Amino acid sequence: MKRLDLQFWRRIGTMNRCASQRRAPDRGSATRSRFMGGFLPALLIVAMTAPRAAWAGTLAQFRTVFGDIEVELYEQDKPVTVQNFIRYVETGAYRDSILHRCPVNPTTGLSDFVVQGGGVFVTNRGTTNA
């Protein structure tokens, strides 16, 4: 098993919502958004309780202020996609990027479709954000 250290989405804790859903901050409220209060803890629980013996491939480790999340990459099924992803990680393409697509199911308050990051950055790199 190889481990790929990924420090992408590490500043997620500085935002109340993903960029596509961000509103003006409510300075008087101590509550977190449904995304941060519902989806991320559920994802962390699933990631922490998954049996490690079943993971034999490459793991991508997402470092967040809430802790590390390990995700298995399916090299056998999608070798080109995994190699492209690893190349982007190794060149720092995701460093300081944020989540910019996380549609929330209004019934559950969770993102049950996709969470996407990359291409939108916390710092100005002199590039055009898409």
| Separation of alpha carbons 25 and 113, rounded Å | 25
pTM for this prediction: 0.47
- In DSSP terms, 97 is beta-bridged to 121
DSSP codes, 29-95: --PPPHIIIIIHHHHHHHHHHS-GGG--SEEEEEEETTEEEEEEE-TTT-HHHHHHHHHHHHTTTTT
* Helix (H) or strand (E) segment spanning residue 100: strand 97-101
pLDDT at position 80: 93
Instruction: Over range 107-118, report the average pLDDT.
Output: 69
Mean pLDDT (the chain, rounded): 63
Pick the more confident residue, 58 or 115: 58
**98 vs 13: CA distance, rounded Å:** 10
28 or 97: which carries more pLDDT confidence?
A: 97
58: pLDDT strictly greater than 80: yes
Q: In this structure, are residues 74 and 82 in contact, taking their beta carbons and an 8 Å threshold?
A: yes
Residue from 128, 127, 126, 119 nearest 19 by CA: 119
Question: Is 50 exceeded by the pLDDT of residue 27?
Answer: no
Burial group, residue 71, by CB count within 10 angstroms (0-12, 13-18, 19+): middle
Report the relative pairing of strands 67-73 and 58-64 from DSSP bridges. Answer: antiparallel
62-102 residue pLDDT tens: 776 556 767 788 888 889 999 998 898 888 887 777 766 66
pLDDT at 16 over 50: no
Phi/psi of residue 31, each to 5°?
-80, 150
Q: Taking a C-beta distance cutoff of 8 angstroms, is the pair 42, 110 a contact?
A: yes
